[in-house]
């Protein structure tokens, strides 16, 4: 167990790493989305573009929060932004699956 | 209907809380930043849980072979995707409520959501197992 005195250095670091893990997870999800969109023919291209844009937005938000002075204070908009992007990927996925039915 | 209006106002207020850090920052007192960071990491862990469910749905849609029941594969994919989206949205809401509670020094919000999610995932796995076994017996 770490004594409390050592904690302040670790908390921001752990949070930064958590943001990076999230960015990596979003990358995997984006790749799966693009693959699903393009396997069904060119009709899925707009949704593939949307997925790439969503990936870019999420990674940019994660990057901004994980580097620089990001990890301090309340990051309401950043958190809501990445949350809504994740939900957006779910929506794109549902549209792509229903397209194939 | 006043009751319905109140629900709409409450929902709108919550969504505003997600996006407006200034408003969230204006209530209560600034807590030990470690608590805020821990809350943020919890949010990120939930978000990754949601993203993992979304990835599972996307993978089911394109890598699963045809299943014995018609459209079962698509049903699994859509269920996982919707569950993942719900987990992501709920993560934002829970983060905002927890942050508010920390700032106001109140009780942390309790939630049935983890239990419901666990039951849904467990039940889904069980149903799938039954479907696969039924398919194996029939063929």
Complex prediction ipTM? 0.87
**pLDDT at res. A69:** 52
Checking if the pLDDT of A2 tops 80, the result is no
Owning domain of residue B119: 52-139
Is residue B67 within 8 Å of B129, Cβ to Cβ?
no
Q: Is residue B77 part of a domain?
A: yes
Distance CA B97, CA B110 (A): 10
Q: How confident is the model at residue A74 (pLDDT cuts 50, 70, 90)?
A: low
Average pLDDT over residues A4-22: 79
Residues of chain B scoring pLDDT < 50: none
Contact check, Cβ <8 Å, B41/A98: no
Cα end-to-end distance, chain B, whole Å: 56
Alpha carbon of B21 to those of A17, A73, A83, B100: distances in Å?
22, 9, 15, 11
Average pLDDT over residues A85-95: 96
Q: Is residue B17 part of a domain?
A: no
Distance CA B74, CA B66 (A): 10
Using alpha carbons, select from A47, A44, A57, A46 the residue that is nearest to residue A84: A57
**pLDDT at res. A89:** 97
Sign of torsion, CA B111 B112 B118 B124? Answer: negative
Indicate which of A17, A34, A41, A93 best probes the interface with B, i.e. most B CBs within 10 Å of its own CB. Answer: A93
Domain locations in chain A as residue ranges: 4-100
Checking if the pLDDT of A72 tops 80, the result is no
**pLDDT at res. B103:** 87
State the CB neighbour count (10 A cutoff) for residue B64. Answer: 13
Q: Is residue B100 part of a domain?
A: yes
Q: Is residue B101 part of a domain?
A: yes
**pLDDT at res. A93:** 96
State the CB neighbour count (10 A cutoff) for residue A100. Answer: 15
**pLDDT at res. B98:** 92
pLDDT digit string, tens, across residues A37-65:
998 778 889 999 999 999 999 999 998 88
Helix residue ranges, H only, A1-101: 7-39, 45-66, 76-100
Is residue A45 within 8 Å of A35, Cβ to Cβ?
no
- Residues within 8 A of A (CB atoms), B 72-111 only: 74, 77-78, 81-82, 84-85, 88-89, 91-92, 95-96, 99
């Amino acid at each position: 167990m770490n004594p409390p005195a050592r904690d302040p250095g670790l908390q921001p670091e752990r949070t930064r790493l958590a943001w990076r893990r999230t960015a990596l997870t979003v990358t995997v999800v984006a790749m799966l989305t693009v693959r699903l969109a393009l396997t069904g023919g060119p009709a899925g291209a707009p949704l593939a573009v949307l997925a790439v844009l969503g990936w870019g937005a999420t990674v940019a938000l994660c990057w901004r929060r994980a580097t620089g002075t990001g990890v301090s204070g309340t990051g309401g908009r950043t958190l809501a932004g990445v949350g809504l992007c994740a939900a957006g990927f779910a929506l794109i996925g549902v549209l792509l699956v229903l397209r194939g039915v | 209907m006043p009751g319905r209006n109140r629900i709409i106002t409450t929902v709108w207020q919550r969504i505003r809380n997600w996006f407006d850090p200034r408003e969230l920052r204006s209530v209560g007192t600034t807590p030990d930043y470690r608590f805020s960071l821990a809350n943020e990491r919890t949010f990120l862990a939930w978000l990754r849980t949601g993203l993992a469910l979304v990835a599972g749905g996307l993978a089911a849609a394109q890598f699963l072979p045809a299943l014995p029941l018609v459209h079962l594969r698509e049903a699994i994919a859509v269920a996982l995707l919707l569950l993942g989206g719900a987990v992501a949205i709920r993560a934002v809401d829970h983060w905002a409520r927890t942050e508010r509670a920390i700032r106001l020094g109140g009780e942390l919000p309790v939630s049935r959501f983890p239990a419901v999610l666990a039951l849904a995932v467990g039940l889904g796995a069980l149903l799938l197992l039954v479907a696969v076994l039924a398919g194996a017996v029939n063929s």
